[in-house]
Amino acid sequence: VDRTDRQPVERCRLHFLLAFLHAVVLERLRYFPVGWSKKYEFSDADQACGRDVIDAWVDNVSQGGKLSNISPDKIPWDAIQSILGEAIYGGRVDNEFDHAVLKAFIKHLFCEESFNSDFFLNMATTQEDRVRSPDGRKRGDFLAW
């Protein structure tokens, strides 16, 4: 079983949110100096570390993956946001504005509301520019999206 599809099922959505964050972070590098103020050295290692952190917290809350489901309000959002924003991704960012932007992305994505069916992945102000989060419970559901 791919680690993304391990119990509880909420793990898969968290991995998807991390993949989306990672894609946004890397894509913004292409638009330097507009996306970020400098070319930061983000890599796949950041995403791998993020998955490890998410898995550790989810395993903790789900009794080592024994529970098939956990309530999104039991996920330690503040801890995940802090580790991603201050250490894993944020540890590379040395510009105050870039750090604020990164933390805003993380705070928006990694929250209890991300499990709602009407959750938007981006913070667009117009309806037509919004990207709705896919409804999925397994890795294949998110890949099909």
57: domain CATH number? 1.10.8.720
Is 1 contained in some domain? no
Domains: count for the chain: 1
Count Cα atoms within 13 angstroms, Cβ side, for 4: 18
Is 40 contained in some domain? yes
pLDDT class of 142 with cuts at 50, 70, 90: low
Give the residue numbers spanning the domain of 97: 7-144
pLDDT, residue 1, reads 52
Q: For the purposes of burial, counting CB atoms within 10 Å of the CB of 11, is it exposed (0-12), middle (13-18) or buried (19 or more)? A: buried
Asked if 138 and 132 touch (Cβ cutoff 8 Å), the reply is no
- Residues 65-98: tens digit of each pLDDT: 888 889 999 999 999 999 999 999 999 999 999 9
Is 2 contained in some domain? no
Q: Model pTM greater than 0.85?
A: yes
Asked if 54 and 80 touch (Cβ cutoff 8 Å), the reply is yes
